[in-house]
Amino acid sequence: MKLSGNTILITGGGSGIGRALAHRFHDLGNTVIVAGRTKAKLDDTIAGRDRMHAMTFDAGDAGSIEDLTARVLDEHPALNVLMNNAGIMRYEDLLADPVDVEIAEATIATNLLGPIRLTSALLPHLRAQPRASVVNVTSGLAFVPWTKTAAYNATKAGLHSWTVALRHKLRQTSVDVIEIAPPAVQTELTPGQSTREGYMPLEAFIDETMANFEADPDARENLVKNVHFLRFAEAEGRFYETVEQLNEALGG
């Protein structure tokens, strides 16, 4: 992935990791479109920045994704990078009677179907570009689950697998496929998370992520050191031990 001279669409760009990535890539000389549900947050993200644009959409709604696709391609035909960052994370009680499956349904629609639908819609355009990239933001919880967020973990594991498959299918095209798998980061993904002790500060995460891009722009995975404990648990033969450690630490 080249780091400048792109036209980039970043979903979930109104706050947290999405907003921070949007600002950093804009600082590198890219045109950046941020998309999300809340217009006020998007407007705040782009305030005072030329070559930044905002579009509202709902990642969990197929019709909204169709509308976003049409608008982006009409207004920004130079689009060559898609960053699927939009997502929700909600606590679940799998021992409730009954279990609230609506949480899982909403999470799957937003976190898994959303990126699949948007990428699929934009892929013919991206494949026609001289050089393009799809960047999917998953999670360390894709590799070791936290039981309080079972559906979230499952969607991120699914997105990881889909990303691997997409990368393989596009290996002889002009489209790079990159995965960012964050650890627990201080954002408002869940209430109070932005000040939660033990979570990685957002700016530190973004600093290391951008440094990784600069060191190896073509890496398949962009992993900060804080996520290695989860990402490589299975490969290092300590998966079930890590599941126990994670859920004991976080109260799973």
The residues assigned a catalytic role are 152
Nearest Cα neighbor of 140 from 199, 72, 80, 79 is 199
Cβ–Cβ < 8 Å for 214, 24: no
In angstroms, the Cα distances linking 169 to 148, 164, 165, 166, 173 are 34, 9, 6, 5, 9
> Tokens 């979903």 map to which residue?
11
How far apart CA 195 and CA 224 sit, in angstroms, is 20
How far apart CA 120 and CA 135 sit, in angstroms, is 13
Nearest Cα neighbor of 87 from 70, 110, 65, 103 is 110
How far apart CA 38 and CA 59 sit, in angstroms, is 12
How far apart CA 233 and CA 240 sit, in angstroms, is 8
